[in-house]
Structure 1
Amino acid sequence: MALKVEAEVELKSPPEKLYNMFKKESYLVPVASPNNIQAVKVHEGDWETHGSIKIWNYTSGGKTETFKEKVEFDDENLKVTLVGLEGDVFKYYKSYKGIFHYVPKGEGTLAKVALEYEKLSEDVPDPINEYLDFVVSFTKDMDAHLVKA
């Protein structure tokens, strides 16, 4: 059974800019958030095609990790889903998805971020402190980068 943890973050950038950073310019995420994301490479496909596969190198909880994902884009709803295929999270979780939904709010955006996962065993902790905090942190960094640009 899939579980979910979520957070909402108010951002200053327009939702389309945040969405497009993931869709068309995810190679800029390490520039925007170097303390969290060290690199992202296309493994299969390209930067902006639904179903492309990317490999992320990141630091979470003080540990350097990797995450291989297949990206799903929902242009109408400004929603990006990163479906986990391989990586360090699979030491703890049977399945893992990161979901980023950008909703207009005033002049800016309400970013709804979520992690959907299945634990490998009952004693595995929910990914709130380590992974959800990490996702919120680099989402804020992306916003700060876009505001400066």
Structure 2
Amino acid sequence: MSLFGKVETDVEIKASAEKFHEVFSCRPHHISNVCPEKVQGVALHEGDWGKEGAVVCWDYVLDGKTSVAKAILEAIDMENKSVTYKVIEGDLMEHYKSIKLTIEVSPKDEGSLVHWIIQYEKLNEEIVDPHTLLQLAIDVTKDIDAHLTQA
């Protein structure tokens, strides 16, 4: 059994790829206003919003418990509408040696397709794959979409 893994999913949204990508690349601190029951706060610890190398601290609820993750904004691709965060501290590091989240947004005829990828290395074989984290990403995606598309 490998300690390395990847879970991924696609979420169809009504919002434009540009608007959705901007939230995660440049304005993640607005996410806690959109879905405060899931993401309670997003704070900039180092660098600048929307710039590679920025260190962002996320306060969120996972499996019914308040959690924290400090992550580096590792890569932003404005043209291909992707953003990658690498978790460097926090509750996830109790189970994973490394964990990286990538959000890719592709425009469609109507709306967009959000592709989430979570790559990880578990600390040991007893650790479960991060499916609940992926479900949180799906739920947050839907909340942001509803916010971006409301009249």
- Show the counterpart of 1:59: 61
How many equivalent residue pairs?
148
C-alpha deviation, 1:2, in angstroms: 3.2
Show structure 1 runs of 4+ deviating over 6 A. Answer: none
Offset, 1:90: 0.6
| Structure 1 residues without counterparts, runs of 5 or longer | none
Residue 134 of structure 1 aligns with an amino acid whose one-letter code is L
Q: Over residues 103-127 of structure 1, what are the superposed CA-to-partner deviations in whole Å (9 max), with x where a residue is unaligned?
A: 1111211000111000000010011
Give me the identity figure in percent. Answer: 39
Corresponding residue to 1:99 among 99, 102, 108: 102
- The secondary structure found in structure 1 opposite 2:53 is coil
Q: Are 2:88 and 1:90 equivalent residues in the alignment?
A: no
| Distance (Å, rounded) in 2 between the aligned partners of 1:4 and 1:34 | 27
1:118 and 2:115 correspond: no
1:20-99 matches, within 5 Å, as 20-71=22-73, 72-99=75-102
Q: TM-score, normalised by structure 1?
A: 0.96
Partners of 2:62 and 2:76 in 1: how far apart?
25
User: What letter is aligned with 1:61?
Assistant: D
Unaligned runs of 5+ in 2: none
Helix, strand or coil for the counterpart of 1:8?
strand
Match of 1:108 in 2: 111
Rounded Cα–Cα distance in structure 2 between residues aligned with 1:80 and 1:140: 18
The alignment yields a C-alpha RMSD, in angstroms, of 1.1
Cα deviation digits, residues 74-101 of structure 1 (max 9, x gap): 1121001111110100111000011100
Describe the SS at the equivalent of 1:84. Answer: strand
